[in-house]
Amino acid sequence: MDPRPNGAASCAASRISERMPLTAVVLAAGLGTRMRSPLAKVLHPLLGRPMVGWIVEALQSVGADVVVVVHHHEEAVRAALAPWNVRFARQSAPRGTGDAVRSALAELPATGPVVITAGDTPLLTAASIHRLLAAHRSNVTVAAFEARDPAGYGRMVPGVGIVEQAACTPDQARLRVVNSGLYVMEAEYLRHRLPDLVPHPPKDELWLTDLVDAESTVLDDFTEAEFLGVNDRAQLAEARGVLRRRVNRAFAATGVDFADLDSASVDVTVTLQPGAGVGLGAVITGDSRVAGQVGPHCVLHDTHVHAGATILAGSVCEGAVVHAGAVVGPLARLRGGADLRADVRVGCFVEVKASVLHEGAKANHLSYIGDADVGAYANIGAGTITCNYDGVSKHRTEIGTGAFIGSNSALVAPLRIGEGAIVGAGSTLTQDVPPDAIAVERSPVKHTLNSAERLRGHYRKRGGRR
């Protein structure tokens, strides 16, 4: 099943789409200067999906054929929406919401309902679109809500239609039921009315809201939160928080265990299997697939955690594969090509890159393992470093099955440690070690007897003079 929100179309929607082909227009031609961003406003990412992608996803899940109106950042918007297979209409200059829908007319069918919505309200749900469609009987059906602060919105004025903020009388300005910007309108009605829209000074904009009149159906019990418009980074973060919880709840419903639905952040591109565990504050992105347990504050990108594997607190994994029974962390770092086979143990402050650790191998503390092949059940002592880089090229290290590498060894690649070999602690190895051999590279220790206290005395005297 698809655990992502908006992923499941209800029976109501299928009935509607069977009755009539449904078209939707997404208005996404605006610039969004308040984001203070080089990126188009509607392309800002929310959990691995561009903002406008959330709207498109909701519309497609009710069976709509989607047309996106573009102008600013047109090429970028087209490219980002490629996975959704939508159609585009180009607004030659953004001259208001009425003009935006007018530029989409050529893409609309002759008859049938058209859902119209803005591209910057990513919290819109499929359920609300259904509800509006189900209530659609006249030429126009409008979704409205009671705003805490109606400033900036068009007011729903009974017996009149929508009066924009700029045109409100003081009495109208006090009305708190406002236009959400989500509508269903009949295609025929749009074709008939859009050409006659009159520009509103001072910016000479054409307002879509002029098509709403006393005959229109208004559903005024939507919730304000769902129509949060993203105009700046604070609203972007707010929207991200709501979506995070929605995605997590949807995964939880499929049997994923979350320590905390609010703080864990799982992108919609991620696959979580039933039985997977996600710790407090964990961040999982990209093409990650998780069936095992991910501890608190771990960061996973493009990482595959098999069932029975455990990633402990604070580990950062990117492009890694962790097999059943393996335990990683706390505070470990797995980089691209880290392949940890069954029952491997990678502990605190261990970094692994482009290396296979075969079944049961252990590197429990403070190591760098890069470009290495570590044999099954090999033991890598604390502080071992594979010196894989000579300043020009990278070289590989091969460690045989069951080998034992003493603590603080430097393995200068290219290097082979044979099966079952033992390397003494502190060795710097530049030559291959045969299987079953003991290699120790260590300078002899010099003991100067009865002299430690004398040396301390010397230091004290010197210190006193300063």
Residue 365 is among the residues annotated as catalytic for this protein: yes
**Residue 68 in contact with ligand UD1, rule: CB under 6 A:** no
- From the list Ca ion, ligand UD1, none, partner contacted by residue 4 (C-beta under 5 to 8 A by kind): none
Q: Quote the least distance from Cβ 189 to ligand UD1, whole Å.
A: 16
Per annotation, catalytic residue among 71, 301, 323, 365: 365
d(CA 217, CA 158): 11
**Residue 28 in contact with ligand UD1, rule: CB under 6 A:** yes
Q: Which of 25, 143, 162, 382 binds ligand UD1 (CB under 6 A)?
A: 162
- From the list Ca ion, ligand UD1, none, partner contacted by residue 402 (C-beta under 5 to 8 A by kind): none
**Residue 229 in contact with ligand UD1, rule: CB under 6 A:** yes
According to DSSP, the residues that pair with 439 across neighbouring strands are 423
**Residue 197 in contact with ligand UD1, rule: CB under 6 A:** no
Strands (E), 127-264: 140-146, 155-157, 161-163, 177-186, 217-222, 257-258
**Residue 164 in contact with ligand UD1, rule: CB under 6 A:** yes
**Residue 95 in contact with ligand UD1, rule: CB under 6 A:** yes
**Residue 178 in contact with ligand UD1, rule: CB under 6 A:** yes
CA dihedral 46, 52, 58, 61 (to 10 degrees): -110
- From the list ligand UD1, Ca ion, none, partner contacted by residue 220 (C-beta under 5 to 8 A by kind): none
User: 90 in helix, strand or coil?
Assistant: strand
Is the link from the previous residue into 444 a cis peptide, with omega within 30 of 0?
no
Using CA atoms, how far residue 65 sits from 10, 52, 74, 142, 183, in Å, is: 17, 15, 20, 20, 15
CB nearer ligand UD1, residue 30 or residue 295: 30
CB nearer ligand UD1, residue 57 or residue 99: 99
Long-range contacts of 232-240 (CB under 8 A, 24+ apart): 232/34, 232/35, 232/36, 233/35, 233/36, 233/37, 236/35, 236/44, 236/46, 236/51, 239/46, 239/51, 239/122, 239/123, 240/46, 240/47
**Residue 99 in contact with ligand UD1, rule: CB under 6 A:** yes
The DSSP line for 228-258 is ----SHHHHHHHHHHHHHHHHHHHHHTT-EE
Q: Quote the least distance from Cβ 118 to Ca ion, whole Å.
A: 6
Q: Which of 128, 141, 209, 388 binds ligand UD1 (CB under 6 A)?
A: 209
d(CA 339, CA 186): 56
CB 306 within 8 A of CB 292: yes
182: closest CA among 140, 215, 137? 140
- Considering only residues 108-127, where is the footprint of ligand UD1 by CB under 6 A? 118-120
Q: Quote the least distance from Cβ 43 to ligand UD1, whole Å.
A: 12
- From the list ligand UD1, Ca ion, none, partner contacted by residue 91 (C-beta under 5 to 8 A by kind): ligand UD1
Q: Quote the least distance from Cβ 229 to Ca ion, whole Å.
A: 5
Q: Quote the least distance from Cβ 54 to Ca ion, whole Å.
A: 16
User: 295 in helix, strand or coil?
Assistant: coil
CB nearer ligand UD1, residue 35 or residue 328: 35
- From the list Ca ion, ligand UD1, none, partner contacted by residue 178 (C-beta under 5 to 8 A by kind): ligand UD1
- Considering only residues 219-278, where is the footprint of Ca ion by CB under 5 A? 229
**DSSP annotation of 185:** E
* Phi and psi, residue 30, nearest 5°: -65, 165
Number of residues that bind Ca ion (CB under 5 A): 1
CB nearer Ca ion, residue 112 or residue 229: 229
CB nearer ligand UD1, residue 95 or residue 358: 95
Continuous segment of H or E residues that includes residue 128? helix 126-135
Neighbours of 340 (CB within 10 A): 31
406-437 per-residue burial string, b: 16 or more CB within 10 A, e: under 16? bbbbbbbbbbbbbebbbbbebbebeeebeeee
Continuous segment of H or E residues that includes residue 429? strand 428-429
Q: Which of 3, 50, 96, 314 binds ligand UD1 (CB under 6 A)?
A: 96
Number of residues that bind ligand UD1 (CB under 6 A): 27
Stretch that binds ligand UD1, among 95-103, 253-261, 288-296, 380-388 (CB under 6 A): 95-103
CB 97 within 8 A of CB 119: no
Q: Quote the least distance from Cβ 309 to ligand UD1, whole Å.
A: 44
Interstrand relation of 45-46 and 49-50 (parallel, antiparallel or unpaired): antiparallel
- From the list ligand UD1, Ca ion, none, partner contacted by residue 375 (C-beta under 5 to 8 A by kind): none
The sign of the torsion formed by the CA atoms of 385, 362, 266, 314 equals negative
231: closest CA among 51, 49, 18, 440? 51
Q: Quote the least distance from Cβ 102 to ligand UD1, whole Å.
A: 10
Continuous segment of H or E residues that includes residue 74? helix 74-80
**Residue 53 in contact with ligand UD1, rule: CB under 6 A:** no
- From the list ligand UD1, Ca ion, none, partner contacted by residue 94 (C-beta under 5 to 8 A by kind): ligand UD1
Q: Which of 67, 69, 316, 363 binds ligand UD1 (CB under 6 A)?
A: 69
| Residue ranges in contact with ligand UD1 by CB under 6 A | 27-30, 69, 91, 94-97, 99-100, 118-120, 153-154, 162, 164, 178-181, 207-209, 229
| Residue ranges in contact with Ca ion by CB under 5 A | 229
Residues marked active site are found at: 365
